[in-house]
Structure 1
Amino acid sequence: MRRLTLTAIIGIAMASTGYAQSTQSPLEPKSGSFFETHPITDGNMPTFFSELKAKMTYPLAYDGGDPAAWRERVLPAAEALMLPSEDTVAFKPEVIDQIDRGAFTAMRVAFNITDESRVAAIVLVPEGEGPFPGVLMLHDHGARFDIGKEKWIRPWYDAARLKSTTQWSEKYFSGLFPGEELAKRGYVVVATDALGWGDRAGNGYEAQQALASNLVNLGSSLAGIMAQEDVRASEFVASLPEVDPERVGVVGFSMGAFRAWQVAALSPVVKATVADCWMATYDGLMVPGNNQLKGQSAWYMSHPGLARVMDYPDVASLAAPKALYFMEGVDDPLFPKASVEHAYAKMHTVWDAYNADDMLKTEFFEGGHIFTEDRQKAAFDWLDGQLK
């Protein structure tokens, strides 16, 4: 009896939707059907992305009151989502080779960056008496993987990479090598490769998604590995005998800027940070047509679960009241100006709550997604004021 009743109900339902007398497969919608008028996706975005955005209320964002108490409460939750482990292995640095470049000595130095990985960094040590201020240089993505640390500093050990970094310098840095410019100013400079670049290059652009999913299945994440390594790299800079551990800074461009403000929030040794061309809100970036929607490179900046509780500027605000300098190009197609301004305003609210708004500098420059000579001069002059 129950089966007959259920069958009758199904028959009535099919008749009411127009399928009862149709010979067409239910999986093949007719012209004008629900599935034609209500597409499931729009390119790489679900059509209901606006509804999902409405649920992103960021419960761990700063909501007024004592900012130090907010940070003490929120930082452990952010670290749990962003850092896959707490590494304790000794760095055990080893000089591989070196070259005298007049104003500074350039070295390749191998060290244990995490419990699992030993990497080679380029370390520049200026001439003269130390200890010196130290700066960690964090490279961009750029969809170019043969060079990582070499994007900042000319390699002397690989002719092919020297050709690549010269091209990169001319395209983004006004023909300069920013790491070397800082060394000439009297900074110890350290540059490393993120997983997938330079000495650690993998299978290229299309393989990023596989690498990211495999790390998730190994209980980690691509963004988490990068954040963990950058924190450790900042601690490595502070550990060098030539460096004053109270004067450690970070400089990053593009994805490196994301890494820079992220490590400023997570690492206690970082005192001053320059971030060129990476700051906005999820709302402003998750829109049709934005580069973020391509998905591949975004894995390096996507911590599983973090978007449910914090926006990008909320994470950066965990660095307050440290000295941070954000710069952005007014013509940068990757970061819409209105979204950047919204993010800047959110951060200024936190620094202002510390009575330290002068420690947060946010600026727009003419031009696009670049770190040209004028921006480098502004950034390095500002660093001098913070760390010298």
Structure 2
Amino acid sequence: MSRAEPPNRRTFVTGAAAAALLGTAPGTARAADLVDGNLPDFHQALKDELNFPLAWGTSPVRDFRAWRRAARATVEEHLLVPRQDGTPYAPDHRESSRGDGCTRELVTLSLTRYERVRAVLLTPDGPGPFPAVLLLHDHGARFDIGKEKLVRPWYDDTRLASAEAWAAKYFGGRFVGDELARRGYVVLCADALGWGDRGPLAYDQQQALASNFYNLGSSLAGLMAREDARAARFLAGLDRVDARRVAAVGFSMGGYRAWQTAALSDDIAACAAVCWMTGLKQMMVPGNNTLRGQSSYYMLHPGLARHLDIPDVASIAAPRPMFFLDGEQDPLFPADGVRAAYARLRAVWASRHAEERLRTETWPGLGHVFTQPMQDEVFGWLDAVL
């Protein structure tokens, strides 16, 4: 590596200090360059060390059910947040009103033993029990709304304009949760920590929050994973819900949350994840949005990549029905990463003779959006599998 540095490159260790660290004389030490687009200059060496030894087909465990148990246990170990199975939900139902073909409620419940969380609960008209959708909101660049990105906030006029603008930008002007309820699904959607009633927290605050979780021996991403799995259990346990027909659905970070919940919870019978799937190595390249840190901490389980790739984690849900949709021109997920992940997923479902239960689609000409035609594809698929 030359001493001459290209623009925007920083050097942390040079001269005598470098000589001391490298065990060479002051006149012969090389500069130790730090970053290449927020990646360490030796990031390729780190990537080369990742061979995902617990992936299905690579793992020495050959029984698939045993592999699922082992892989799930590995993921859960890296969440750093203990299971919350003994915590009573103690739901408090408030603010009931009529919607389009449904009853709308605000419900406050304990997803962990640490705090109470407010969610929206939509119940279709009719006798039930109904199929249900755990609807998981995205990250985005707007934090005053969370659940309101997906369900029209009938209870808060101050958030309505923000919610409508978000729906117009990403969902073709449609509130996905309201449409699902109109089509006969019970819908539960809660704020993740940092959004809506639990926010707003901007990017720098989220990164600081994540580091403080680590200092406390815990994890922001692990908390979100635990809360989502607990929300799935709460939804499946409602009398109005057919526990055999509960799906997780989400867009962007919500898509990540959806397949992660399917991997960690047997209460999820099917999953539709929109605009969040890639191979880790293909994602960790200069210029990718993930490299900024900030929001990435909601989707970061330290050390897990030493064991499993991203699609390997999603594959813990196999052979249940799963639908992955990505935009061909999505700037957040390079096309080669999407292709690699889809190929890995298809190999796992094929090994279970369940190819028909996995659907992967890349939509030509689309970026990071969940348009009404895409939604209609998902709704039709949910009707078929649930």
With the length of structure 1 as denominator, give the TM-score of the two structures.
0.90
Aligned residue for 2:87, secondary structure, equals: coil
User: Match for 1:78: what amino acid?
Assistant: V
Aligned residue for 1:340, secondary structure, equals: helix
Aligned residue for 1:71, secondary structure, equals: helix
Q: How far is 1:83 from its partner? A: 5.5
Please tell me whether residue 55 in structure 1 is matched to residue 44 in structure 2. no
User: Match for 1:72: what amino acid?
Assistant: R
Greater radius of gyration (CA): 1
Distance in 1 between residues matched to 2:168 and 2:15, nearest whole Å:
59
Q: Which residue of 1 aligns with 2:110?
A: 112
Q: Which residue of 2 aligns with 1:26?
A: 16
Label 1:385 to 1:26 Cα distance change in 2 as closer, same or farther (>3 A): same
Q: Is the 8 A contact 1:96 1:107 kept in 2?
A: yes
2:83 to 75, 86, 98: 86
Alignment of 1:287-298 (within 5 A): 287-298=285-296
Q: Is the 8 A contact 2:277 2:311 kept in 1?
A: yes
Alignment of 1:1-388 (within 5 A): 26=16, 35=30, 39-63=33-57, 65-82=62-79, 84-87=81-84, 88-366=86-364, 367-387=366-386
Could you tell which deviates more after superposition, 57-66 or 295-304? 57-66
Q: How far is 1:148 from its partner? A: 0.4
% identical aligned pairs? 50
Q: How many correspondences in the alignment?
A: 361
Q: Which residue of 2 aligns with 1:19?
A: none
Q: Is the 8 A contact 1:66 1:353 kept in 2?
A: no
Structure 1 gaps, min length 5:
1-23
With the length of structure 2 as denominator, give the TM-score of the two structures.
0.90
Aligned residue for 1:165, secondary structure, equals: helix
User: Match for 1:81: what amino acid?
Assistant: H
Structure 2 gaps, min length 5:
1-13, 20-26
Q: Is the 8 A contact 1:264 1:270 kept in 2?
A: yes
Q: How far is 1:26 from its partner? A: 2.9
Aligned residue for 1:26, secondary structure, equals: helix
Aligned residue for 1:327, secondary structure, equals: strand
Distance in 2 between residues matched to 1:107 and 1:67, nearest whole Å:
41
Q: How far is 1:187 from its partner? A: 0.4
User: Match for 1:75: what amino acid?
Assistant: R
Label 1:46 to 1:33 Cα distance change in 2 as closer, same or farther (>3 A): farther
Per-residue CA deviations over 1:223-278 (Å, capped at 9, x if unaligned) read 10000000000011111111111110010000000000000000011001000000
Distance in 1 between residues matched to 2:274 and 2:100, nearest whole Å:
28
Distance in 2 between residues matched to 1:33 and 1:53, nearest whole Å:
29
Q: Is the 8 A contact 2:107 2:119 kept in 1?
A: yes
Q: Which residue of 2 aligns with 1:6?
A: none
Distance in 2 between residues matched to 1:179 and 1:256, nearest whole Å:
13
Aligned residue for 1:155, secondary structure, equals: coil
Distance in 2 between residues matched to 1:92 and 1:354, nearest whole Å:
39
Distance in 2 between residues matched to 1:299 and 1:259, nearest whole Å:
13
Could you tell which deviates more after superposition, 63-72 or 123-132? 63-72
**What is the RMSD computed on CA atoms of the aligned residues?**
1.7
Q: How far is 1:27 from its partner? A: 5.2
User: Match for 1:368: what amino acid?
Assistant: G
